[in-house]
Amino acid sequence: MLGILSFAQVNIQSLIKPGTKLIYAVEANGMKYDFIVTVKALNPALVFDWEMTDRTGNSGTITHTATAMVSANTMYNYFSPGPKTLDDNTISVWLSKNSFTGLTKGSMNVMMGMNINESLKKMGMVVSDEDKDDDDESELKIIVNGEKETVEEKIAQELNAEGRAVPEGAFFSFYNSAKMPIILRMNNGFSIVLKEIKTKG
């Protein structure tokens, strides 16, 4: 059984390189549209072009600092057209190395800003979550170069002081790779879900 499951899962780390497109389905303000990320550079810091299909000209480029890739704990989620270099504490679409480590080791929670200019929230792993029993919490179905694949995901939820999930709180999922911890899903006043990866065409 384990062999079958692992065979079906795609290795995102091997797919993402300059030129790769990540296509997310967005639901925000009663609208549905795509958020398309095209990777331009991964080292020494992440650079990507982006486009929202909700209106013409809604596109730009995000450049991260090398420091942000290591230690940023605030997410940049509300995009404005044009080029933008994020500060050392802000990251987008990816998790920083420190946030990934905090969520996957030790206490398995971190303090994160889910949007800029918002107070930090305790985000962490919840071992059991009755609310999502009808979902497959560990796999996300996506299209890779036209083929149906599954991706293993880890889910982080907003936690209260007792370490329990906050009802209707923020949550996101991410790919379980220290080298490529991309956001797969997020819900925080809007929702995005990775639906497709294109490495060619």
Q: What is the pTM of this model?
A: 0.89
Task: For residue 53, give its domain range.
Answer: 2-198
State how many domains the chain has: 1
pLDDT of residue 132: 44
User: What pLDDT, on a 0 to 100 scale, did the predictor assign at position 137?
Assistant: 52
DSSP track, 3-62: HHHHHHB--HHHH-STT-EEEEEEEETTEEEEEEEEEEE-SSS-EEEEEETTSTT-EEEE
Structure tokens at 144: 């890779």
* Residue 103 three-state SS: helix
Amino acid at 86: L
77 φ, ψ to 5°? -120, -15
Tens-level pLDDT at each residue, the chain (201 residues): 444 444 457 899 999 999 999 999 999 999 999 999 999 999 888 999 999 999 999 999 999 999 999 999 999 999 999 999 999 999 999 999 999 999 999 989 999 999 998 899 999 987 554 444 434 357 899 999 999 999 989 999 999 988 889 988 999 999 999 999 999 999 998 999 999 999 976
Closest C-alpha among 149, 131, 129, 133 to residue 195: 149
